[in-house]
Amino acid sequence: MKNKAQINKLFAGNGSPELGKRIGEFFGQGLGAIELQKFSDGEMAPYFNESIRGANVFLIQSTMAPSDNLLELCLMIDAAKRASAYKAIAVIPYFGYARQDRKDKPRIAIGAKMVANILTAAGADRIMTCDLHAGQIQGFFDIPVDHLNGSAIFVPYLRSLNLEDLLFASPDVGGVKRTRSFAQHFSSEMVVIDKQRKKANEIAEMTIIGNVEGRNVVLVDDLVDTGGTLCKAAKIIMENGAKSVRAVCTHPVLSGNAYDNINNSVLEELVVTDTIPLTQESSKIRVLTVAELFAKAINNVTTDGSISQLFI
């Protein structure tokens, strides 16, 4: 008799249809059939068009935009559990609300913890995600979390460029650990951009801690939102004598006037992944896929293999 844990089915929500399809191709299995009924008042009702009884059900859904896609994911999890799935695994390439990971001022919600509670309450047995804004968010869950690292995608690409005098830069103090990891891979040095904010998405002052003169600089961040910080950092780096500056950011949130900011910036290129689909095309934005990385992780989970071997 076939073991329940050997039955694996993949489904994609409306937030990640193309990425879900690519993951399925690399995994060697097509996506399962699921429909999302939507009522005129906005209510959603997902429905599995095939039996998932006794299966490991992988639900692929980035939560950007967070409101609809997060609720849709929770409904998919609930539907899977009520349909007697063996396990419901939420595959969340981009985890929304991750920037709300602490109480940094009075009377504010910790959104990342609340979302973790919601996903767990919905019935998720496991979470799989990539480059959380803060690694400690894994501790908000009381279920297993597979936290994949985007460096597995970016490092091979950067090596292919054969850049001399390479230097890595963190756009803020919070990204130092991530940037140092890249620098160590290339036996390179790093600098830090110290920034002071007036309010969210608005920078008051920015200075470089370190020397960028004569270097090819790579800015490293987990996500790019409006692009304001990234583009201003790139400008300051070039003004301080760098040869070139480019950026690698896992999640292309790209809200507001982000595309204009990037197109008009001094950045050579912005390298992102497909955890979030782009809404516009840009000659300065290069997209690398995380599909193979997630497919390998899903395979290792189903075969009780190691996830850490996927890290560089």
* Contacts (Cβ under 8 Å, ≥6 apart) of 168: 179, 180, 182, 183, 186, 188, 189, 190, 191, 217, 218, 219, 220
Q: Which residues are catalytic?
A: 195
66 and 138 housed in the same domain: yes
The stretch 124-152 carries a mean pLDDT of 95
The stretch 203-223 carries a mean pLDDT of 91
In 201-291, the DSSP E strands lie at 202-209, 216-224, 244-252, 270-273, 285-288
Burial of 1 (0-12, 13-18, 19+ CB in 10 A): exposed
35 and 141 housed in the same domain: yes
The stretch 222-243 carries a mean pLDDT of 95
69 and 116 housed in the same domain: yes
Copy the structure tokens of residue 220. 């490293």
* Contacts (Cβ under 8 Å, ≥6 apart) of 112: 95, 97, 98, 99, 100, 101, 133, 134, 137, 140
66 and 195 housed in the same domain: no
The mean-pLDDT minimum among 115-119, 132-136, 255-259, 268-272 falls in 132-136
Structure-token match 């985007």, residue found? 150
26 and 93 housed in the same domain: yes
Sign (positive or negative) of CA dihedral 143, 125, 129, 77 = negative
pLDDT value of residue 197: 61
pTM of the predicted protein model: 0.93
10 and 145 housed in the same domain: yes
168 and 109 housed in the same domain: no
pLDDT value of residue 4: 46
Q: Does 1 have pLDDT greater than 60?
A: no
9 and 126 housed in the same domain: yes
Q: Does 235 have pLDDT greater than 60?
A: yes
Amino acid at the residue 85: A
Residues spanned by the domain of 189: 151-288
Q: Does 6 have pLDDT greater than 80?
A: no
pLDDT value of residue 200: 58
pLDDT value of residue 116: 97
213 and 229 housed in the same domain: yes
CATH code: domain of residue 275: 3.40.50.2020
145 and 21 housed in the same domain: yes
The stretch 183-195 carries a mean pLDDT of 93
140 and 203 housed in the same domain: no
9 and 138 housed in the same domain: yes
Count of domains for the chain: 2
